[in-house]
Amino acid sequence: MTTKATKAGGVGRASGVSKAGGAAKAAKPKTPKLPKAIVLAVKAAHAKQAVDVVVLDLHKAGGFTDYFVICTGNNPRQINAIADSVEDTLKEDLGERPHLAEGIEKSEWILLDYFNFVVHVFSRDCRAFYGLERLWGNADRIAFTDEKP
């Protein structure tokens, strides 16, 4: 799993050097522990080739929920497929259903509200326009740079 935890909108690099027997080793970046539902949502989004998958930890940001899972689809069909995959995976594996689902008709921004976290599936233009990562800039940001969270 390749992740990078930073403040939202910021660039961060976790690095450290320890000396063991005179040789220096680079430390691996520490990945925050995420709830199972968040990990499953990220995996489900990646299963449908979602891009730019990011989790915002809103605990310190004073948000109305604990996490945002934000991702992008390339076209309306893929956006629907990503949202369906997240919804089906969480229902099958955890018995969780969203308390609110919006945007399915237009497929530019689908929102799945699970109370403790909200999944946002955007088109590229819609994601750039609303800029949730910028709006929640004080949240801890966990970016998933490959397909395995």
Residue range 80-107, pLDDT digits in tens = 999 999 999 999 999 999 999 999 888 8
Residue 111 falls within a domain, yes or no?
A: yes
Residue 23 falls within a domain, yes or no?
A: no
Residue 19 falls within a domain, yes or no?
A: no
pTM of the prediction?
Answer: 0.78
Domain total for the chain? 1
Q: Which of 89, 102, 107 is nearest to 36 (CA)?
A: 89
pLDDT tens digits for range 40-79: 999 999 999 999 999 999 988 877 899 999 999 999 999 9
Average pLDDT, integer, range 105-129: 95
Residue 113 falls within a domain, yes or no?
A: yes
| Domain span holding position 63 | 49-149
Q: Is the pLDDT of residue 111 over 60?
A: yes
Percent of the chain with pLDDT over 90: 62
Residue 79 falls within a domain, yes or no?
A: yes
Q: What is the pLDDT of residue 31?
A: 59
Residue 33 falls within a domain, yes or no?
A: no
